[in-house]
Amino acid sequence: MEWSKGEFMVSDEISLMNLDTVSYLLSSTYWAAKRTKETIETSIHNSISFGVYHNNKQIGFARVVTDKAVFSWVLDVVIDERYRKNGLGQWLMECILEHPEIKNTKFALATSDAHGFYKKFNFKENQCMTRV
């Protein structure tokens, strides 16, 4: 699936993913800074993964773990710092939520610092439990 907006594109095509770029983007986050490139590659292939591109250069990433029937978990939403504040993260989330394979599932995510951003998409604050 592919979406375009001016010089920008969002795609779920894994062959377009630049593993070095995704690793770099995630290395700047509090939640994935220590992930190995091998772990990132495995996670890309076992999820619906989304790239954001500017003139064919990857500048963003997100992925969704899903059963494609009932539930989808949004993870790793990140836009290159040089491209932030341009609405690209919002557009990426809109593309994810409208993806035909998952748009009718219940979505969840976890965040420590972006509650306001996700409220725009009707995500509600609640306690999320994780197994360690």
Residue-wise pLDDT for 104-113, tens only, equals 999 988 777 7
Report whether 60 contacts 25 (CB < 8 A).
Answer: yes
Phi first, then psi: give them for residue 119, nearest 5 degrees. -60, -30
Dump strand ranges (E) for the chain.
2-5, 8-11, 48-54, 57-66, 71-79, 106-108
Domains of the chain listed by start with CATH number: 2-119 (3.40.630.30)
pTM assigned to the model:
0.89
Sheet arrangement for strand 2-5: 2-5, 8-11, 48-54, 57-66, 71-79, 106-108
- Which residue stretches of the chain have pLDDT < 50? 131-132
